[in-house]
Amino acid sequence: MGKVSLRDRLRQGLFLLDGAMGTQLIAHGVEPGKCSELLNLESPGLVLRIHKAYIQAGSDAVLTNTFGGNGFALTRHGLVNRVADVNTAAAGLARKAAGQTKYVLGDIGPTGDFLEPLGSLKPNQLTTVFAEQAKALLAGGVDGFIIETMAAVEEATIAVKAAKSVGSGLPVLASMSFDKRGPDFKTMMGVDVKTAVSTLISAGADAVGFNCGTTTLDEYVELAKLFVSAVDALENTRATSHERRVAIFAEPNAGKPELLDGKAVYKVTPDEFAVAAQKIYAAGVTIIGGCCGSTPDHINALAKKLRG
């Protein structure tokens, strides 16, 4: 049995992503600071087990374990020549868990550096690095791409365009991390919701959203409402269709991280998470998963609550 394309599926309403990978790896004994992406080659069984747990919990899609799989991030671990291996293997593992009925999103995170003049990166270097990662993910069999946790809108834009350029027409989801700053939400680089939404949509993103950040559950709900009004305002100025062309997605953390013995802990329970997710869904966000601290239990609670 074939499945509908991811692009069509994203237009059909509620779509559940998975929860965290990084904090799950640590919960399974991986040392913090270890290159998580190398585990796609060194401990494929563990990565596969986490993907499968999310599919069993009710995720419609799993994200590849490649958040730090771009050339800049891998270079910090001395793995500059492993971009293709790591990303293609990761996509294969996610595909194995998702089978032919669920979806795989190739995960692309930030480089961890800044564009000139703030940092040393040049736009064309960024394009090359993101395109290299997207190509390797595509070779491993992804259904689309998800660009997450971005703070700089220029970097996010370049990532979207790079994934689009090599992605064989597959959809690209793009999200940034917001924190509450006074009455507003802004990324670490000072980008507000309206700017993020309009810039990412112009760059070609098929869905726009927010993930991670140091935000409480109530603030995520507030952020969801801001996203929906920003997308609606943009589409009303140009769209004739009632249907939103661009879907909105949210991957909240399991609450605001608290520091305990120097480690970030996330205290939100699966039920509390599901209650907030229901409010986010009611606001008009149709693609929902979890970021740091969320577990298969959180996704399972969310699936039960939203699917009844």
Q: How far is the CB of 212 from Zn ion (least distance, A)?
A: 3
Chain positions 115 to 134 lying near Zn ion, rule: CB under 5 A, are none
Q: State the angle between helix axes of 44-57 and 83-98 in degrees (0 to 180), rounded to the nearest 10.
A: 40
- In the complex, the smallest distance separating the C-beta of residue 261 from Zn ion, rounded to whole angstroms, is 20
Exposed (0-12), middle (13-18) or buried (19+): which is 304, by Cβ within 10 Å? middle
Q: How many CB atoms lie within 10 A of CB 80?
A: 11
The reply to whether 292 sits near Zn ion by the rule CB under 5 A is yes
Asked if residue 212 binds Zn ion (CB under 5 A), the reply is yes
What one-letter code names the amino acid at 59? S
Among 205, 224, 288, 291, binds Zn ion (CB under 5 A): 291
d(CA 259, CA 275): 24
Closer CB to Zn ion, 167 or 289, in the complex: 289
Burial bucket for residue 229 (CB in 10 Å: 0-12, 13-18, 19+) = middle
Q: Which of residues 72 and 178 has its CB atom nearest to Zn ion in the complex? A: 178
What's the min distance (Å) between Cβ of 291 and Zn ion? 3
Binding status of residue 226 toward Zn ion by CB under 5 A: no
Contact between 152 and Zn ion by CB under 5 A: the answer reads no
Q: Which helix (H) or strand (E) holds 293?
A: none
Q: Least distance (Å) from Zn ion to the CB of residue 253? A: 5
Q: Is 151 a residue that touches Zn ion (CB under 5 A)?
A: no
Query: What's the Cα-to-Cα distance from 6 to each of 103, 111, 177, 188, 194, rounded to whole Å?
Result: 7, 26, 24, 31, 26
Residues 80-99 that bind Zn ion (CB under 5 A): none
Contact status: 268 vs Zn ion (CB under 5 A) = no
The residues binding Zn ion (CB under 5 A) are 212, 291-292
